Amino acid sequence: MTGRPHTHGHAHRHEPGRRLGHLLGHRWGHALRPHSHDPAARVDAALEGSAEGLRTLAFSLGVLGLTTAVQAVIAALSGSVALLGDTVHNAADALTALPLGVAFLLGRRAATRRYTYGYGRAEDLAGVVVVLAIAASSAVAGYEAFRRLVEPQDVTHLAAVAAAALAGFAGNELVARRRITTGRRIGSAALVADGLHARTDGFTSLAVLLGAGGAALGWRAADPVVGLLITGAIVLVLRDAAREVWRRLMDAVDPAAVTAAEEALGAVPGVRGVGAVRMRWLGHTLHAEAAIVVDPQLTVVEAHRLAVEAEHALMHTVRRLVSATVHVDHPPVGGAEPDPHAALAHHLV
């Protein structure tokens, strides 16, 4: 395309009420995927996502808190270091609900003149706390398992240890399903990462059964060996969670979403070309900037209407998109016309 599109512009907002042809063209789209284009409605949807996240966190805290309490009592009675590692990890997982809860509450606050994009980024920072909690629990579990390997100790109450392991698996799997489902529905990377963390915790809880079985057969090293295996599993979760949180903090998005947005913009009647398309997450909401090339003979009103239709297309195409800034550009009019972006050239060096 000609011209040099950029994303310096203003956000186009549109109220209910459309031209008849536009309404007819999108009738079935609205029926299959109803939504509102009112900015207030988009904010309400984001707030509802935060409320759903808070309910999930409260559920997680209750279930994992009870699971941890049961395991802690049995770990103290039995002396099982594998169960101790699982208990510490479950406790850390339960407590990660607190920073996430604070982040969801902050995310519900309105934008200010200082925080013009609102407080959605707090949710991503909470993901860092989750990663640090996973790292700390892996360090504690690994240290205790290694110490017990060097200084062997008999494990007692093996039946209770096995029961605690099953309780840990059930509690973690219940929480994992709730967190992952909610996180994917509202677009929260931190909540999905925490759910994956809980799911792995469930399988590491089952590993405690191996330690109990080995101890029952007389292998004293079985319990600390399983503890070390649990530590390794925690480290793998740490790697995946850290990668997910890192990508979110670095404004990474699914490239397929960008491609879909470009195709949607290019399909809007009247759009001659598509410039840069940028997206970023703020918590569990997605924001976009895009540049489109239009006929230079359009009036301001016509160009604005086209920009609104382009934003409309993005809203239909990109899930969890709550705002879009669309910049309108045009190809040069005649060879003698100066480049309208020339005044910005020295800022781009």
In tens, the pLDDT along 178-192 reads 988 888 887 777 778
Looking at per-residue pLDDT, the higher value among 141 and 281 belongs to 281
Say how many Å lie between the first and final Cα of the chain, rounded: 22
What 8-state DSSP symbol labels residue 114? S
Hunting for tokens 């004293």 — which residue is that? 220
What is the pLDDT at residue 2? 38
SS3 248: helix
d(CA 69, CA 87): 8
Q: 333: exposed, middle or buried (C-beta count within 10 Å: 0-12, 13-18, 19+)?
A: exposed
Q: H-helix or E-strand containing 53?
A: helix 39-78
What is the pLDDT at residue 337? 62
77 falls in which pLDDT band (50, 70, 90)?
confident
d(CA 80, CA 229): 14
d(CA 259, CA 255): 6
pLDDT averaged over the chain? 77
DSSP 135-178: HHHHHHHHHHHHHHHHS------HHHHHHHHHHHHHHHHHHHHH
Residue 11, pLDDT above cutoff 80: no
d(CA 87, CA 331): 64
Sequence length of the chain is 349
349 falls in which pLDDT band (50, 70, 90)?
low
Hunting for tokens 């913009």 — which residue is that? 265
Q: What are phi and psi of 280, to 5 degrees?
A: -155, 150
Q: For the chain, what is the radius of gyration of the CA atoms? A: 27
Task: Measure Cα distances from 240 to 260, 270, 316 in Å.
Answer: 26, 44, 31
Strand order in the sheet with 285-293: 273-282, 285-293, 321-329
The pTM for the full model equals 0.66
